Amino acid sequence: MVVQTERDDATWYECESCGLLFDEREDAATHEEHCDAEEPSYIQ
Ligand SMILES: [Zn+2]
């Protein structure tokens, strides 16, 4: 999931799975689709 966050007076979009920050929401969404860190932890 992508979460919006404010940092240094700028808006960033963070991949909730691995913590990567993006300045474009579209980039974050694209990354999130292919994020390796995204594992269904609720199954474990
Ligand atoms: Zn990620």
Q: What is the pLDDT of residues 20-35, one digit of tens each?
A: 999 999 999 999 999 9
| Residue 18 domain boundaries | 2-43
CA angle 17, 26, 31 (to 5 degrees): 35
Q: With a cut of 80, say whether residue 39 has pLDDT above it.
A: no
How much distance in Å is there from the Cα of 16 to the middle of ligand 1? 7
How much distance in Å is there from the Cα of 17 to the middle of ligand 1? 5
* Residue-level pLDDT at 33: 92
Q: How many domains does the chain have?
A: 1
How much distance in Å is there from the Cα of 2 to the middle of ligand 1? 9
What's the alpha-carbon Rg for the chain, to the nearest Å? 11
Reduce the secondary structure of the chain to three states and give it as a string.
CEEEEEECCEEEEEECCCCCEECCHHHHHHHHHCCCCCCCHHHC
